[in-house]
Amino acid sequence: MGRRPDSHGSPPFFPSFQPNAMTFLDLVRTHMTVAAHPNRPRRLTMRRFLPYLLSLPALLVCIGILIPFFTAVYYSTLRFRLNLPMMKGFIWVDNYISFLTDAAFWNTVQVSLVYALVTVTGELLLGLGIALLLVRPTKINNAASIMLLLPLMTAPALAALMWKLMTNPNFGILSYLVSQLGFDNFNWASDPSSALFTVVLVDVWVYTPFIMILLLAGLRSLPKQPFEAAALDGVPRSFVFFRITLPMLMPYIITASLFRLLDSMQQFDIVYSMTQGGPGDTLMVFQVQAYLEFFQYTNVGRSAALLIVLWAITYALSNIFIKHWLKLRERAHGPA
């Protein structure tokens, strides 16, 4: 589909009002034009302090907890292994430098990124598809959307335990069904060739509902008018979807995938419960490695350095997301 001029008179962000809300709004609009200049000085002081007043409590509450974050940054500059106390010492960035030549580290970076990419993409596509299927607020669709939240409500650690049972070659219902379909040697999480598929499957099962519910709420709150206009003009539906629905939904998509991306980069429960990072190092994601380094090897310095790298990666990725989000917002609403 080329960039053809938008001749149908319904630009993507057409400000629109629902007819039944018109009366009140019209009234409001009229008022506004009449009294456009309320008493300025008071409003200005208000404007200056109010936002800080509103946002600082949230910030303070979080910062309080995050004081330990700086302790952790300090740990990452130490040679600090709890069971070799005599070796403790300040080594600047040596922990980080040692990563550069460490094949296991690069494997971890790769596995984590692949894992995050595959799960977020899969969940986004699937979640969007389901949200579109359920967009009409019928009783059945509403009930289905709530039922679909059930996997999300099951704690991932327990969900993984159940999936491990369901994919067990002896007692597992899924293994049984798959073998009935003729795949006798499909070994799920235990085989390097299918391990990633299996944990991604569980991740998709658990977290797609998260994206689905956010996009569903977003879809349902989109203004109706552009769609009605497009329908009247007989605009092809693919065009409506790609040029109207998707752009309008984009801020919701970004928020939802951002949160998924953050959690997915930090995946621990599912991978650890199902394979402990194995087989071999197939699924050795950041958090599993850092968990082992800390809780089993008690290598605090190395564990902290690993997690700081993870933190930096997620920070950079979310920065990109947020920039896009803000840009989209600005385009939608104009600069405030």
Partner 1 sequence: MFEKGHDLAAAFVRKQIGRRELIQRAGQLGLGVAATSFLVAQAMGQAMAADFDWKKYSGTKLKLLLNKHPYVDAMVADLENFKMLTGMDVSYDVFPEDVYFDKVTAALSSGSSEYDAFMTGAYMTWTYGPAGWIEDLNAYIKDPAKTNPNYDWEDVLPGLRASTAWNGVPGGELGSADAKQWCIPWGYELNNLSYNQKIFDKVGVEPPKNLEDMVGVAAKLTKDAGGPYGVGVRGSRSWASIHPGFLSGYSNYGQRDFTVTDGKLKAAMNTAESKAYHKLWVQMIQESGPKNWSTYTWYQVGTDLGAGASAMIFDADILGYFMNGGDNKEKGNIHYAPFAANPAATAPTPNVWIWSLAMSSFSAQKDAAWYFMQWASSVEHDLFGARKMDFVNPVRASVWKDEEFRGRIDKSYPGYLNQHDASAPGAKIYFTAQPLFFDLTTQWAETLQKMVAKEVPIDEGLDQLAASVDKQLEDAGLGG
Partner 2 sequence: MERSSSLEKAIRGILITAVLLFFLFPIFWIFLMSFQTNEDILRIPPSLFFEPTLQNYSALLTGKLETAAGSLDIAFMRNLGNSLLLSTFSVLLSLALGVPAAYAFARFKFRLGENIAFTLLSFRFAPPLLVLLPLSLFFKQLGLTDTYIGLIWVYQLICLPLILWIVRGYFEDISPDIENAYRIAGHSWWRTFRRIAIPLARPGIAAAGLLAFIFAWNNFIFALILASASKQPVTVGALAFVTASGIQYGQIAAAIVLSVTPTLLLALYAQRYLVEGLSLGAVKG
Q: In the complex, which residues of this chain contact partner 1 (CB under 8 A)?
A: 81-85, 87, 164, 167-171, 185, 187-192, 274-281, 292, 294-299
In which element (H, E) is residue 58 found?
Answer: helix 40-75
Mapped onto helix, strand or coil, the DSSP state of residue 79 is strand
Residue 192 contacts which entry, partner 2, partner 1, none (Cβ below 5-8 A, type-dependent): partner 1
In which element (H, E) is residue 90 found?
Answer: strand 89-90
In which element (H, E) is residue 293 found?
Answer: none
Residue 188 contacts which entry, partner 1, partner 2, none (Cβ below 5-8 A, type-dependent): partner 1
Nearer to partner 2, 174 or 192 (CB): 174
Residue 85 contacts which entry, partner 1, partner 2, none (Cβ below 5-8 A, type-dependent): partner 1
Nearer to partner 1, 138 or 276 (CB): 276
Taking the complex as a whole, the smallest distance from the CB of residue 204 to partner 2 amounts, in Å, to: 9
Residue 227 contacts which entry, partner 1, partner 2, none (Cβ below 5-8 A, type-dependent): partner 2
Nearer to partner 2, 188 or 210 (CB): 210
What long-range pairs does 313-321 form, CB within 8 A, spacing at least 24?
313/109, 313/112, 313/113, 313/265, 314/261, 314/262, 314/265, 314/266, 317/261, 317/265, 318/258, 318/261, 318/262, 321/254, 321/257, 321/258, 321/261
Nearer to partner 2, 101 or 170 (CB): 170
- For 180, residues 6+ apart whose C-beta sits below 8 A from its C-beta are none
Taking the complex as a whole, the smallest distance from the CB of residue 285 to partner 1 amounts, in Å, to: 13
Contact by Cβ (8 Å): 76, 305: yes
Candidates 242, 246, 157, 253; CA nearest to 210 is 253
Nearer to partner 2, 3 or 44 (CB): 44
Taking the complex as a whole, the smallest distance from the CB of residue 78 to partner 1 amounts, in Å, to: 14
Taking the complex as a whole, the smallest distance from the CB of residue 63 to partner 2 amounts, in Å, to: 8
Residue 318 contacts which entry, partner 2, partner 1, none (Cβ below 5-8 A, type-dependent): partner 2
Amino acid (one-letter) located at 206: V
Q: The tokens of 124 are what?
A: 């986004």
